[in-house]
Structures are given as C-alpha cells and as structure tokens.
Structure 1
Amino acid sequence: MFNRCSVIVFSRLPVRGAVKRRLAREIGEKEAFSCFKRLYIDSLQEVLKVNASRFLFLTPYPEDFSTFTGSWPLVNNFSVKAQVGDDLGQRMKNALLEIFKMGFEIGVIVGTDVPDLRAYHIEQAFKRLLYQDIVLGPCEDGGYYLIGVRSGLRDWQELFHEIPWGTSEVFERTIYKAQKMGYKIHVLEMLYDVDHYEDVMRWRQSE
C-alpha cells in the first residue's frame, strides 16, 4: 500500500544494564530491562502491521549479529542498520539520509518506549506526508515519539540541528523550526513514554 515509504525504528541494543538507565535507578536494573523488552517487542509487532519497508537502527550495532537475531527473532523482519552520529539528531538525520539514498520518498522514525504507539499512527503519518511536509507525534514530556519527512523537502536536515535533545523543549523547538521554514505540519495525538516509575504504573493500570 505504501510504496516508497519506510518506517524506521530507533532503539538501543537490548542489553541489560545498557537500556532504560533512568528507570533502572528508580526500579532496579532487572525490572527496567523487563519493561524495555516488553516495550521493544510490542513496538516491533506494531510496526510489522504496517505495509511498508521496515528498518531497525540500533546503537550500538550488535557484535554477533546471528546471536542477536537468534535471541530476538522479530528482528529478522527488519533491515538492521547502525545508528551513526554524535547525538540523537545526527543519528536520525543520517538514518533518513541513508534510506532516501535507497530511493524511498517518505521516512517515518519511531521509538520503542511508547506503550500506546499503534500501526495506525505510522499509517496516518504516511498518508499525511503525501501532501504535507512533516508529521510529528508529541510526547507528554516534551519530546516526540514519531517524526516523518519527505525526501524532497527543502533543508529538512535543519529539523535535527540545534535541538536540546533529552529535554522538555524538543517538540516545541522542532515545531518552531518547521514553522520558521514554512513547512506544512501535521501533529498526531499526544502519547506518553516510559521513563520513570510513575510511567510504568500508568502503563500497567491501563492494561
């Protein structure tokens, strides 16, 4: 259905002690990794429902790829790539550049820590990007869980420059940049991500 569209999942390599460090300080490393695994698997399963080319960009890239895919068989449904760049913005920009060089016209990036992310959020982004310039899915903490852009958009790389990553200003600053550049913007519904103990409790209570 979505020819020349790609969905890119951005994630850390699922290794205990290397993921959800803020959450681990609050609930312990074992429980934090358990939460990460559940979110990771749920996110990949939702992306698999989308009829588009699928990529998984990891940091760091697994040293033993066959062992990694054996432990996480869902990954075999994705083209797995390494994240490249010094900060999150550079890594996302480089991922989009890579898939655009392959000939894709639309790229949508999502994370793996949003319990309510569904395939229809990605599909809605694809549809909107047929006639709008960028799509953003805001998080309650001020970040975003989804960003989508078109390959032919003038100076789209600027959306990833001079953004205070990891702060509550990420979404606001990105929107400001997009408006300043005259882009047509569509904003999806706001969702929450899991970074703290209260987020875990909210997630569990909603099930």
Structure 2
Amino acid sequence: MPTTHNPNTLDYTAQKEDLLVFARYPELGKVKTRLAAGIGPEQALQVYRELLAHTQAVAAPLAVRKWLWLAEAGPAADRSDTWAGYQPLPQPAGDLGHRMQTAFAHSFAKGAAAAVIIGTDCPGLTTAHLEQAYTALHTHDVVLGPATDGGYYLLGMKVVWPTLFENKPWSTSAVLSETLAAAKLVGLQVHLLPELRDVDTAEDLWAWQESEKQSS
C-alpha cells in the first residue's frame, strides 16, 4: 500500500488496521433488488455503480490494508472494476453474521490489530467517519455506525466477538438494538458514530437525492 497520505490522518498502516468491504460485482437484476422494485433494475444498477464509486472514494485516503469480500457473481456480472489496492476474497456461505465473523477472523489471523467492516450502501459515509472509527477503537472494544433503518453501516473491533454475530435478525430494524444488547451483556465498551441512511429502497433514494439538492 502507498505510504504517503494526508498528514492530518493517523498512520493506519503502522497500526496494522484493516478495512473490510462487502460488495458484489454490478449485475443487472442482481444488485439493489429492493430498490429495483421501486425504480426498475436498470436505474437500480446505475445507483449501485454510484454507491460503489463513492465507497472507493471515501476509503481511498486511508493507508490501511484493504480486503474486498465479494458475493458470488453471475455470468452477466461486470468485472471490469479491479478495485485497485484491494485484496479480493469470495464471501463464504452462511448468513450475514457468519460471513462478517469470517472476514474479521481472517484479518486478525493475518495480523491486523483492528478491523472495520462496511458495505456499499451508504452515500453519507465519509473518510472522516472511517477515521473516527479507527480512532474510537483505541479506547473502545467495538465501534458501530447506526443506520436509520435500525441496522448499521459500519462495525469495527479488535478481536472477534461471536456474540455480535450469532442469532441476529439480519435485514430487520432490530439488528442494531440486539447487537448493542449483546455487547452490553458481555461488558463491551461501544462507541457510536453518527447515524446515516443506507440506500435500500426508492424512499431512501429520494431522501438521498433531496439531501444532495439541499447541500448543492
């Protein structure tokens, strides 16, 4: 990885920190299916491409080791984006909790002292949020980025805590609350980042577009 970076950011490489990105190759009819139900598969694919580009852009300034965990791709998947600087790996079988736990365990087995995992659904995510996550892990066991739908857009930790992944109601509004309850039960110190909105539905997309208009 390049060693030159913004002097105002921390030296993440020296601290052996990883970024884990869960994604899939763009493929018509296979990405953002809930969004496609409201706006059509072609437009949903375009939105997904924009979200992929945004995720790469905000992660680019970080001097961390970067892993790209890819969902299984179909025959029509667009593999032209090489995700330069990332080490690609196939997502394992199992529910989201098992897949995330596997990704964290892999990083720690490869020598990471801390790791942060994100998806590619959050247009409000910034480089500063990612920097804050790594900084928080200096003094906390876990960092979470709450999403407005009751899930989370980011999770960070320094060791694997299986209780945060097992028996969770994935893709429901109870994911964050049950994850926080599990962390409290075992006495983990949790830092919460600002709440952000994922783009999963047409309503989410319209809210994002409206916020873009207001900020322009």
| Superposed structure 1 runs of 4+ greater than 4 Å apart | 61-65
Identity %: 36
| Residue in structure 1 matched with residue 136 of structure 2 by the alignment | 128
Q: CA RMSD in A?
A: 1.7
| Residue in structure 1 matched with residue 62 of structure 2 by the alignment | 50
1:139 aligns with 2:139: no
Any unmatched runs of 5+ in structure 2?
A: 1-10
Deviation at 1:95, TM superposition (A): 0.4
| Residue in structure 2 matched with residue 40 of structure 1 by the alignment | 52
Distance in 2 (CA, whole Å) between partners of 1:25 and 1:61 is: 20
Deviation at 1:12, TM superposition (A): 2.3
Deviation at 1:63, TM superposition (A): 7.8
| Residue in structure 2 matched with residue 72 of structure 1 by the alignment | 81
For 1:10-159, what aligned pairs fall within 5 Å after superposition? Answer: 10-60=22-72, 68=79, 71-73=80-82, 75-151=83-159, 156-159=161-164
For residues 114-148 of structure 1, the C-alpha deviation after alignment (integer angstroms, 9 at most, x for no partner) is: 11101111111111111210000000000000000
**TM-score, normalisation: structure 2:** 0.88
Change beyond 3 A, Cα 1:21–1:52: same
Letter in 2 for 1:169: A
**TM-score, normalisation: structure 1:** 0.92
Deviation at 1:202, TM superposition (A): 1.5
Deviation at 1:62, TM superposition (A): 7.7
Q: Is the contact between residue 138 and residue 171 of structure 1 (CA under 8 Å) also seen in structure 2?
A: yes
Secondary structure of the equivalent of 1:193? coil
| Residue in structure 2 matched with residue 171 of structure 1 by the alignment | 176
